[in-house]
């Protein structure tokens, strides 16, 4: 079984060192709580990734933290003080990259950025300079005079990212920034997010992509049904599951027997193509029993380190009972 | 056609499982049918008409006949020539005091070429006064009748006329006439009221000015002015009794209803009068034919004369000179009897004692193209304004930018304000082009272009406000367009643009007055077709402004609430 550690409490800043923190944050929609008692903190310069299944409340959490909707309960602190995220002072410190396409398709990339720069209060020349800077930063300078609706999805997402940075925010909220992108475009967006880290910005992002979470985030929180269930570094989350992972290939007639055996021994398994992937904290102790029972049909066996996706899937199975 | 069954089943499921589609395709048509049905269900309601009766029986009352005489000095000389005693007054107060004391029978007020006024009074015999009134009613243009000197003076000062003749009721014999019809005695007011029952809803007015003000404001569909001497002319049939009818032609259907209604009831009055009169005339003629009592004198009838001649025809057969005369006498009697019968039949069928002089409240006859322009402009503004307001706002949702914009330094009303300015410019420019095209290219009538433009500017506010309200209920442009169509379509029927409000049931009129387009349409018709001034339409413009501000405020609040 997964060892449950209460890492949440240990990571919650009491409001002093954290740039932004949430205390008992809840949001109710027509009697249904989309968020329940969320305690979370975001340290300066870190990249916190919130992972969770569809409908877990990830986007709702971003909407509450960015002041788009008011929380039904709880408080949001900024550098130790309670804040109303809808107030201008806080809004000017945060940047947002929404999940859905968010730009004027019939404007060019330059026009979109220039408009936001003016709306954030930048004067003429300053706005133009910032626009050029962001076009350069996002690699869109040579496409800056094309209407955005003719951009590829990846280019649009890079523009969207740039648009969230027009006013040089300290904290950037990214809502599933690579959702729906092909690997090349995804890699380009990752590169931009890593540059944000290098620039020292604090990033709060949600994602479904475990590879992304593992690759980009310095800390992770697992949100399930509106509640934070686990928090910690990717390594820490993975360690909840143990670091062992065995891939087996065996004859078809023995596969059912393997599945039954894993269930009886409390070992987690999943099928990846023709191979069975077994994970578990006490896997080394249980592995001899499996090999001895299935030796006849065993064709191939490899040992690999556990991935975040394995850990997440196992965690979700655990949560759903 | 392979697969059509599966596709049909799929379409059916998609329709019945989509509440919006069900509403649009099935419920909405019934709703529209209900709206239109309710609007038309009481067709044939009495037409609201104002009655200005200047033929009232008033002992001490006065009557002022105003008009464009063409030569005020000439008419002054005419009065002086016919008067037994003529007085020129230094001031109006002096003249009116003498008039009220009965020192003079008539007062003449004329405009001087220098811009001043001249008052003169006359003692004059009734027959001469009648003749003078007859002359000026024939010679003056744009006749207006007022009950008070104040109204006559104000009409003269407004430049509506250049001369006014004041008469005292006791001096003017036509002011106290009644007519005997169907066993009852009628004065002009009662005659109109009784014979127009079920056709018109009559309200009494003391002066034409007051009645015209209510006609312009839409409270009346027509004004009937009964001139002095109307009943007298009906009684004597010496001349046609004219009735002046002023109709609001800015709405073609309303004008048609009013004119048809008034013509119908006046034709019934004519028939009754003719019938009554012809009964007396024919009775008199038949006395000539049959013999009997003719106003207290026993006369021998032509038939009896003919019979008597026939009875002596044989007795004088041997005296050829007498027989010839008798034959001629018989023939003459038969011819005269036949002629009298023909004349009676002709009189019964052709006499028309009442004549209508129909004019427009605009002061000129309006063509269909004139009346259509305000409705066309108002409806196109409704269409463009609602769509513009809704689409421009929903575009922010469709582009996903609302979330980003809310995080900026943008002011709370910047978003709504920018939409209002752009949509307002589009709607206003469109209406300006339409108005100028209608007037310049198609020759449509517009009495005040400036006021029409002011009205369209205020109308644009309300139309865009409706669009903003609708934008709160749509997330995509397609949805906003459908919503706009669903809302604007019934409004067209409920605002009097198609069917006159006066013919709608009460609850529909209440609804109509809760729609800004009703006021826009009335104001536009008023300033373009009825010659209304800024003061006349000010309250409608104020209502439009109020609607505009309220709808923009509501739209703005709903849009902000939606984005939360």
> Do A200 and A10 touch, CB atoms closer than 8 A?
no
User: Do B200 and B325 have their domain in common?
Assistant: yes
Q: How many whole angstroms separate alpha carbon A265 and alpha carbon B108?
A: 124
DSSP B403-472: HHHHHSS--TTHHHHHHHHHHHHHHHHHHHHHHHIIIIIT----S-HHHHHHHHHHHHHHHHHHHHHHHT
- Model pLDDT, residue A71: 92
* Cα separation, B7 vs B353, whole angstroms: 74
The model's confidence at residue B44, banded by pLDDT at 50, 70 and 90, is low
CA-nearest of B533, B511, B515 to B463 is B515
The number of beta carbons lying within 10 Å of the beta carbon of residue B554 is 15
A105, exposed or middle or buried, with CB in 10 Å at 0-12, 13-18, 19+? middle
Are residue B53 and residue B63 in the same domain, yes or no? no
**Does residue B295 fall inside a structural domain?**
yes
Looking at the fold, whether B375 and B510 belong to one and the same domain comes out as yes
Give me B200's structure tokens. 């018109």
Q: Sign of dihedral through CA atoms A310, A312, A313, A317?
A: positive
List CB contacts (< 8 A) between B409 and chain A.
88, 92, 119-121
Q: Which of B407, B410, B564 sits opposite A96 (nearest CB)?
A: B407
Report the percentage of chain B scoring pLDDT > 90.
17
Alpha helices in chain A (DSSP H): 7-11, 58-65, 88-91, 109-119, 124-137, 153-163, 183-198, 210-216, 234-239, 252-265, 283-294, 308-319
Worst-scoring range by mean pLDDT, A101-115, B58-72, B510-524? Answer: B58-72
Cα–Cα dist B235/B177, whole Å: 9
pLDDT attached to residue A12 = 35
Closest chain B C-alpha to A63 CA, distance in angstroms: 9
C-alpha–C-alpha distance, residues B489 and B495, integer Å: 11
Residue B14, domain member (yes or no): no
Q: How many CB atoms lie within 10 A of CB B319?
A: 11
Same structural domain, B342 and B378: no
Token pair belonging to B1 = 């056609």
Q: Which pLDDT does position A81 carry in this prediction?
A: 87
Q: Which residue of A has its CA nearest to B414?
A: A119
CATH assignment of the domain containing B124:
3.30.1760.10
At residue A272's C-alpha, the angle toward residues A267 and A276, to 5°, is 40
Q: Which residue has the higher pLDDT, A9 or B391?
A: B391
3-state helix, strand, coil in chain B (%, to 5): 60, 15, 25
**pLDDT at residue B433 in the model:** 92
Asked if A104 and B403 come within 8 Å (Cβ–Cβ), the reply is no
* Cα Rg of chain A (Å, integer): 23
Distance CA B54, CA B222 (A): 17
Q: B71 and B148: one domain?
A: yes
Asked if B12 and B153 touch (Cβ cutoff 8 Å), the reply is: no
CB contact under 8 A, B409 and A119: yes
pLDDT at B172: 58
DSSP string, B138-184: HH-EEEEEESSHHHHHHHHHTTS-SEEEEEETTT-GGGG--EEETTE
Domain count along chain B: 3
Mark yes or no for CB contact A68/B408 under 8 Å. no
Q: Is A119 in Cβ contact with B405 (below 8 Å)? A: yes
Domain presence at residue B505 = yes
Res B425 pLDDT > 50: yes
State whether B476 and B511 are in the same domain.
yes
User: How many Cα atoms sit within 13 Å of A318 on the Cβ side?
Assistant: 20
Q: Characterize the bridge pairing of strands B62-68 and B47-53.
A: unpaired
B561 touches chain A (CB under 8 A): no
Contact between A103 and B399 using a beta-carbon 8 Å cutoff: yes
Q: Among B311, B345, B366, give the residue marking a domain's end.
A: B366
Written as six digits, the tokens of B68 are: 């464009």
Surface-to-core class of residue B60, CB atoms within 10 Å of its CB (0-12 exposed, 13-18 middle, 19+ buried): exposed
- Residues of the domain holding B285: 39-57+177-366
Question: Could you tell me if residue B291 is left (phi over 0), alpha (psi between -120 and 50 degrees) or otherwise beta?
Answer: left
Residue spans of alpha helices (H) in A240-307: 252-265, 283-294
pLDDT tens digits, B470-516: 999 988 899 999 999 988 888 888 887 777 777 777 888 888 889 99
Digitized pLDDT (tens) for each residue of chain A, 321 residues in all: 333 333 323 333 344 468 899 999 999 998 899 999 999 999 998 999 999 888 889 999 999 999 988 999 999 998 888 888 888 889 999 999 998 889 999 999 999 999 999 999 998 889 999 999 999 999 999 999 999 999 999 999 999 999 999 999 999 999 999 888 888 888 999 999 999 999 889 999 999 888 888 889 999 999 988 999 888 888 888 777 565 778 888 888 888 888 888 888 888 888 888 888 887 767 778 888 888 888 888 888 887 777 777 777 777 776 766
Q: Can you tell me the distance from the alpha carbon of B384 to that of B462, in angstroms, rounded to the nearest whole number?
A: 12
Q: What is the mean pLDDT of residues B86-115?
A: 87
pLDDT tens string A174-223? 999 988 888 888 899 999 999 999 988 999 999 988 888 888 999 999 99
* Length of chain B as a residue count: 564
Instruction: Tell me how far apart the alpha carbons of residues A232 and A315 are, in angstroms, rounded to a whole number.
Output: 14
Q: What pLDDT band is residue B372 in, cutting at 50, 70 and 90?
A: confident
DSSP state at residue B501: G
How many Å lie between the alpha carbon of B410 and the closest alpha carbon of chain A? 6
Please check whether residue B205 lies inside any domain of the structure: yes
Q: Is A137 exposed, middle or buried (0-12, 13-18, 19+ CB in 10 A)?
A: middle
Residues B43 and B82 in one domain: no
The CA distances from residue B412 to A133, A225, B341, B403, B415, in Å, are: 29, 34, 89, 14, 7
Phi, psi of B48 (to 5 degrees): -70, 120
**pLDDT the model gives residue B423:** 93
B83 shares a domain with B152: yes
Residue A251 or B185, more confident: A251
Q: Is B4 inside any structural domain?
A: no
Task: List pLDDT tens digits, range A32-66.
Answer: 999 999 999 999 989 999 998 888 899 999 999 99
* Paired tokens of B388: 């513009």
Residues of B in contact with A102 (CB under 8 A): 399-401, 403-404
Q: Does A127 touch chain B (CB under 8 A)?
A: no
Exposure string for B20-33, b = 16+ CB within 10 A, e = fewer:
eeeeeeeeeeeeee
Contact B540, B404 (CB under 8 A): no
Q: Please tell me which residue, B97 or A11, carries the higher pLDDT value.
A: B97
Under 8 Å between Cβ of A21 and A77: yes
Residue B23 lies in a domain: no
Question: Given a cut of 60, is residue B150 above it in pLDDT?
Answer: yes
Domain A7-238 CATH (choose: 3.40.470.10, 3.30.1950.10, 3.40.630.30, 3.40.50.300) = 3.40.50.300
Q: How many Cα atoms are found within 13 Å in the side-chain-facing hemisphere of B202?
A: 22
> Where does CATH 3.40.50.300 sit in chain A?
7-238
A68 at B interface, C-beta within 8 A = yes
What's the pLDDT at A4? 32
Which of these, B253, B249, B258, lies nearest to B497 by C-alpha position?
A: B253
pLDDT at A246: 83
* Residue B404 sits at the chain A interface (C-beta within 8 Å): yes
Interface membership of B81 toward A (CB under 8 Å)? no
Model pTM score: 0.65
- The three-point CA angle B5-B6-B9 to 5° equals 85
B419 with B524, same domain: the answer is yes
Contact B62, B148 (CB under 8 A): yes
Please say whether the beta carbons of A305 and A245 come within 8 A: yes
Q: In which band, very low, low, confident or very high, does the pLDDT at B356 lie, cut at 50, 70 and 90?
A: low
On whether both B105 and B128 belong to a single domain, the answer is: yes
Domain with CATH 3.30.70.260 in chain A: 244-305
Cβ density class B228-267: b for 16+ within 10 Å, e for less: bbbbbbbbebeeebbbbbbbbbbbbebbebbbebbeebbe
State how far residue B414 is from chain A, nearest Cα, in angstroms: 10
The β-bridge partners of B62 are: B168
Structure tokens at B427: 């709607």
Decide which of B141, B175, B209 is a domain's last residue.
B175
Whether B105 and B145 map to the same domain: the answer is yes
**Residue from the list A98, A103, A119 with its beta carbon closest to the beta carbon of B408:** A119
Determine contact, residues B515/B492, Cβ cutoff 8 Å: no
Quick one: pLDDT band at residue B43, thresholds 50, 70, 90?
A: low
Orientation angle between helical segments B208-216 and B149-157, nearest 10 degrees? 60
Which of B147, B175, B203 delimits the end of a domain? B175
Domain covering A244-305 in this structure, CATH number: 3.30.70.260
User: Residue B555: exposed, middle, or buried by beta-carbon count in 10 A (0-12, 13-18, 19+)?
Assistant: buried
Torsion of Cα atoms, A163 then A168 then A173 then A174, to 10° = 40
Distance CA A135, CA A158 (A): 9
Is residue B564 predicted with pLDDT exceeding 70? Answer: no
A vs B, Cβ pairs < 8 A, gives: 46
Query: So what's the pLDDT on residue A72?
Result: 93
Greater confidence (B172 vs B314) lies with B314
**How far, CA to CA in Å, does A134 sit from each of A112, A115, A145, A198, B503?**
11, 13, 14, 16, 65
Do B121 and B255 fall within a single domain?
Answer: no
Distance from CA of A214 to the nearest CA of B (A): 28
**Per-residue pLDDT tens over the stretch B439-479:** 888 887 888 889 999 999 999 999 999 999 999 998 889 99
């Amino acid at each position: 079984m997964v060892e449950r550690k209460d890492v949440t409490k240990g990571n919650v800043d009491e409001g002093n060192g954290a740039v932004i923190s949430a205390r008992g944050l809840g949001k109710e929609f027509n009697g249904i709580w989309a968020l329940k008692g969320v305690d979370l903190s975001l340290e300066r310069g870190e990249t916190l990734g919130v992972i969770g299944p569809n409908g877990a409340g990830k986007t709702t959490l971003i909407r509450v933290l960015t002041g788009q909707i008011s929380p039904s309960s709880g408080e949001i602190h900024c550098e130790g003080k309670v804040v109303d995220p809808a107030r201008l002072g806080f809004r000017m410190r945060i940047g947002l990259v929404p999940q859905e396409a968010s730009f004027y398709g019939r404007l060019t990339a330059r026009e979109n950025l220039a408009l936001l720069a003016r709306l954030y209060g930048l004067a003429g020349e300053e706005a133009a300079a910032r626009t050029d800077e962001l076009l350069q930063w996002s690699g869109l300078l040579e496409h800056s005079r094309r209407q955005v609706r003719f951009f590829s999805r990846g280019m649009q997402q890079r523009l969207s990212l740039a648009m969230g940075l027009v006013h040089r925010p300290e904290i950037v909220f990214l809502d599933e920034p690579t959702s729906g992108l092909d690997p090349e475009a995804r890699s380009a967006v990752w590169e931009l997010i890593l540059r944000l880290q290098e620039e020292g910005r604090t990033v709060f992002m949600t994602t479904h992509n475990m590879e992304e979470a593992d690759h980009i985030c310095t800390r992770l929180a697992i949100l399930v049904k509106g509640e934070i269930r686990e928090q910690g570094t990717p390594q820490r989350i993975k360690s909840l599951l143990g670091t062992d992972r065995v891939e087996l290939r065996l004859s078809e007639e023995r596969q059912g027997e393997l599945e039954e055996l894993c269930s009886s021994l409390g070992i987690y398994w999943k099928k990846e193509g023709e191979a069975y992937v077994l994970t578990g904290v006490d896997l080394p102790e249980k592995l001899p029993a499996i090999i001895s029972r299935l030796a006849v049909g065993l064709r191939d066996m490899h040992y690999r380190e556990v991935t975040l996706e394995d850990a997440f899937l196992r965690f979700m199975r655990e949560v759903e009972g | 056609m392979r697969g059509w069954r599966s596709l049909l089943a799929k379409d059916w499921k998609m329709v019945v499982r989509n509440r919006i589609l069900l509403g649009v395709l099935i419920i909405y048509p019934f709703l529209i049918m209900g709206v239109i049905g309710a609007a038309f269900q009481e067709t044939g309601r009495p037409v609201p008409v104002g009655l200005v009766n200047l033929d009232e029986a008033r002992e001490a009352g006065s009557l002022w006949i105003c008009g464009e005489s063409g030569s005020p000095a000439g008419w002054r000389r005419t009065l002086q020539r016919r008067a037994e005693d003529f007085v020129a007054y230094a001031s109006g107060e002096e003249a009116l005091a003498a008039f009220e004391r009965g020192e003079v029978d008539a007062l003449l007020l004329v405009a001087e070429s220098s811009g001043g006024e001249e008052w003169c009074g006359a003692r004059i015999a009734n027959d001469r006064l009648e003749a003078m009134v007859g002359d000026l009613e024939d010679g003056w243009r744009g006749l207006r009748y007022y009950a008070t000197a104040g109204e006559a003076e104000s009409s003269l000062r407004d430049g509506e006329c250049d001369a006014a003749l004041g008469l005292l009721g006791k001096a003017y014999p036509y002011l106290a006439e009644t007519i005997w019809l169907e066993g009852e005695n009628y004065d002009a007011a009662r005659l109109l009221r009784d014979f127009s029952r079920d056709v018109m809803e009559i309200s009494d007015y003391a002066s034409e000015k007051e009645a015209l003000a209510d006609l312009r404001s839409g409270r009346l569909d027509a004004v009937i002015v009964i001139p002095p001497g109307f009943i007298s002319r009906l009684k004597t049939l010496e001349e046609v009794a004219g009735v002046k009818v002023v109709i609001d032609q800015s709405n073609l259907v309303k004008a048609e209803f009013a004119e048809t209604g008034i013509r119908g009831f006046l034709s019934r009055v004519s028939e009754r009068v003719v019938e009554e009169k012809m009964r007396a005339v024919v009775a008199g003629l038949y006395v000539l034919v049959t013999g009997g009592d003719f106003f207290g004198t026993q006369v021998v009838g032509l038939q009896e004369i003919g019979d008597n001649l026939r009875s002596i025809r044989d007795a004088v057969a041997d005296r050829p000179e007498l027989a010839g005369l008798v034959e001629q006498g018989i023939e003459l009697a038969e011819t005269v009897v036949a002629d009298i019968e023909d004349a009676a039949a002709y009189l019964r069928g052709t006499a028309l004692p009442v004549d209508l002089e129909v004019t427009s409240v605009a002061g000129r006859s309006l063509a269909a193209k004139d009346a259509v322009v305000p409705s066309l402009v108002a409806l196109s503004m409704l269409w463009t304004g609602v769509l513009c307001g809704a689409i421009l706002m929903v575009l922010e949702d469709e582009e996903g930018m609302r979330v980003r914009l809310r995080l900026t330094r943008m002011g709370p009303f910047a978003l709504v304000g920018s939409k209002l300015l752009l949509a307002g410019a589009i709607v206003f420019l469109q209406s300006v082009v339409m108005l100028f095209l209608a007037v310049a290219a198609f020759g449509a009538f517009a009495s005040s272009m400036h006021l029409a433009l002011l009205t369209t500017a205020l109308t644009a506010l309300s139309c865009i406000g409706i669009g903003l309200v609708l934008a709160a209920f749509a997330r995509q442009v397609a949805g906003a367009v459908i919503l706009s169509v669903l809302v604007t379509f019934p409004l067209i029927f409920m605002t009097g643009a198609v069917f006159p409000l006066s013919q709608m049931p009460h609850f529909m009129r209440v609804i109509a007055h809760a729609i800004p387009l009703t006021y826009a349409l009335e104001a536009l018709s008023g300033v373009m077709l009825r010659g209304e001034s800024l003061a006349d339409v000010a309250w409608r413009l104020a209502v439009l402004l109020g609607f505009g501000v309220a709808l923009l405020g509501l739209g703005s609040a709903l849009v902000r609430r939606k984005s939360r």
